[in-house]
Chains A and B, each alone.
Chain A
Amino acid sequence: MSATTPVAAAHGPVHGTEHEHPGPKTYAKIAIVLTVITAGEIWVFYIEQLKFLLVPVLSVLSAVKFALVAMFYMHLKFDHPVFTRLLLAGMVLALGTFLALLALFTWSHPLLKLLAG
């Protein structure tokens, strides 16, 4: 949309509906990809030989699904970057905080070590 350059953004009016959003064809393609990935995730889950890869593979696949929905269905790829920044602010902070919290509980908490035996 027009407001991606700061100069235009400062003075330009709102064009609420004139985003160059992709059409139904692109949406359908994304839907197919999402379906395939989901099927793949469940397939990986049931394959005994891939057990050791479960966490990395599923994490990456879910992240791809998340990113596809955010970029195309939520239009982050086409909209003003401020939206992407807001989402990233929330996600980075949540990931950082709660990964640190999990680390505190699983690695270094004597109380929990005691509980876990």
Chain B
Amino acid sequence: MTAASHAEHHHTSLGVDSRKLGMWALIASECLLFGSLIATYLIYRSQSVAGPSPAQILDIPVTSVSTFVLLMSSFSIVLALHGIQSGDIAAFRRYILLTALGGTVFLGFQTYEFTHFVQSGLGFSTNVFGSSFFMLTGTHGTHVAVGVIWLLSLYFSSVRGKLTEDAAIKVDTMALYWHFVDVIWIVIFTVVYLFVFV
């Protein structure tokens, strides 16, 4: 029994890895989380009684750049995944760092944006637009930050040789999270920024 159980442990009914399945379940849940935040934003964005409105303050060109950076980090993480799946550890490490860099750049842009808004008179307590905007983009930024920490810990555990037997699945699971954070930003960018005059 002792010998058999290890193999049995990895037997699964659907033939898929449980961690990936769990990540997809989490993603389903996150749809409702971001849905609530986006709905709150859309209900509140034009209800403010004072202060800057979205059209007065949102900066489309700057955010387009950071959106592009995040989109490309999705590209780099599939390359990292391909690297680890095909045994090319050097490529994996290169691209996982590049992805973390992309996430960090995105967070840098967001920090700049938030600071700029506060200087222009829009804080989270200025009006209901400010509250719902900062909560939505802040929650997304927190997800990116968690992702960057996760990416870096994958990188460092690879360097220290601790990323071994099921490394590909671990990276695969993380990549799913990263892509989801990216596609949610696609939605946020469109709804919050590009629909600003609608």
A residues with CB within 8 A of B = 1-3, 8-10, 12-17, 21, 23-24, 27-28, 30-31, 34-35, 38, 41-42, 45, 51, 54-55, 58-59, 61-62, 65-66, 69-70, 73-74, 79-80, 82-83, 86-87, 89-91, 93-95, 97-98, 101-102, 105, 112, 115-116
Which of chain B's residues 67-82 have a Cβ closer than 8 Å to chain A?
67-68, 71-72, 74-75, 77-79, 82
Instruction: Answer whether residue B179 sits at the interface, using C-beta atoms and an 8 A cutoff.
Output: yes
A16 touches which one: B60, B169, B197 (CB < 8 A)? B169
Query: Chain B, 38-79, contact with A by CB distance < 8 Å: what is the 0/1 string?
Result: 110011001100000000000011001001100110110111
Chain B neighbourhood of A21, CB < 8 A: 82, 85
Which of B104-112, B140-148, B186-194 lies at the interface with chain A?
B186-194
Which of B24-32, B115-123, B155-163 lies at the interface with chain A?
B24-32
Of all chain A residues, which has the CB nearest B7? A13
Query: Chain B, 1-29, contact with A by CB distance < 8 Å: what is the 0/1 string?
Result: 00000010011111111001100110111
